[in-house]
Amino acid sequence: MVRHRSGGAVPQVMPRGEDPPSATGRLGRRVCLLGLLLLAVASAAPVPALAQEAPKRLLFLTHAGLYKHASLGPAERAVTAWGRDNGFEVLTLQGYLQDQDALDLSRVTAEYLAGFDGLMMMTNGNLPMSDAQKQAIVDFVADGGGFIGVHNAALTFYDFPEFGEMLGGYFRSAIQQGHVFVLRVEDREHPATRMLGPSWPIVDEMYHYGTAPWRADRPEANIDVLFDNRIPMGFSRDRVRVLLSIDTEATDLDGLVDVERGGDYPQSWVRDYGDGRSFYTSIGHREDIWTNDPVYRAHLLGGIRWALGLEEGDATPRGSR
């Protein structure tokens, strides 16, 4: 366990990533320059001053039960650094360093979570936790905690639908990597998206989500196509407030699997859950996005601060698009 407080040492250990440097990174940097222009314009709006109070405490889990993303280490270090000037401090368990077959999450109990204001997860798989531990996570949010799910968090706990209900949905399949997606900004006032303008061009891996519970009479539908996990509940706009979705009119759809002109492909959303708040974004696959994309930084920081109650934003579902 490593606690990262202001001025604290940041671990330098990082396993070699699975995603080798490629043209994707260079393309991402070029798209990032365009995003910076959008951010510069939006940044002219006043930024709320941080209250002079004790920082919120955020627990960040990066345990990988299915696939270890190369971005997990950079994500831990980036969020830790960002928190120092944004009203929260981060504690990580460096789950990404643990062997997939020997993950240890035994300390994550209701009593342990009570020491935090928020929980951030960039995990995947049916992690080795008891039902009581999984319920403790859901109850933590329902009782007023903040939840932040990033990218592969949507591949977590297929065996515990209450978690998917709180997060908002489950991964079904990936949409092509290394592609320039243009995201439609559906809420231009929320802290996670108000810096973006009407659209956001970005290179990253987008997701399709299950639309209904898996059924035995339709065994190929609503199943995680990578690891064969059966999806226990479907995503619905009636449950969450969508912040970002793929703009199929502005995005080149050539080569994109199961993406059709006029289709609905949400990629980030928020919801109130009991007395707590839940924020999710599919963006975060690329290793370099955590270190050289200030637009992504602003998006994620806005979501974190909203979930922790440091900023206000509407989470009222708006139903079908």
Q: What is the pLDDT of residues 221-254, one digit of tens each?
A: 999 999 999 999 999 999 999 999 999 999 999 9
| pTM as predicted | 0.86
Q: Which amino acid is it at 308?
A: L
Q: Is residue 106 pLDDT above 90, yes or no?
A: yes
Average pLDDT over residues 27-42: 50
pLDDT of residue 223: 97
Q: Is residue 50 pLDDT above 90, yes or no?
A: no
pLDDT of residue 39: 52
pLDDT of residue 224: 97
- Length, in residues, of the chain: 321
Q: Is residue 271 pLDDT above 50, yes or no?
A: yes
Number of neighbours of residue 50 by Cβ within 10 angstroms: 13
Phi, psi of 253 (to 5 degrees): -90, 0
CA-to-CA distance for 219 and 26, rounded, in angstroms? Answer: 40
pLDDT in tens, 153-167: 999 999 999 999 999
Say whether 41 sits in a helix, a strand or coil. Answer: helix
Tokens matching residue 179: 């592609």
Domain residues of the chain, as ranges? 54-307
Q: What is the mean pLDDT of the chain?
A: 89
Strands (E), 144-295: 146-150, 171-174, 180-185, 199-203, 207-209, 241-246, 266-273, 276-281
Using CA atoms of 86, 91, 95, 96 in order, give the dihedral in degrees to the nearest 10: 30
Provide the β-strand partners of residue 269. 242, 280
CA-to-CA distance for 154 and 219, rounded, in angstroms? Answer: 20
CA-to-CA distance for 195 and 42, rounded, in angstroms? Answer: 5
CA-to-CA distance for 25 and 1, rounded, in angstroms? Answer: 31
pLDDT in tens, 144-154: 999 999 999 99
42 or 291, which is more confident? 291
When the candidates are 3.40.50.150, 3.40.50.300, 1.10.287.3510, 3.40.50.880, the CATH number that belongs to 54-307 is 3.40.50.880
177 or 45, which is more confident? 177
CA-to-CA distance for 65 and 127, rounded, in angstroms? Answer: 6
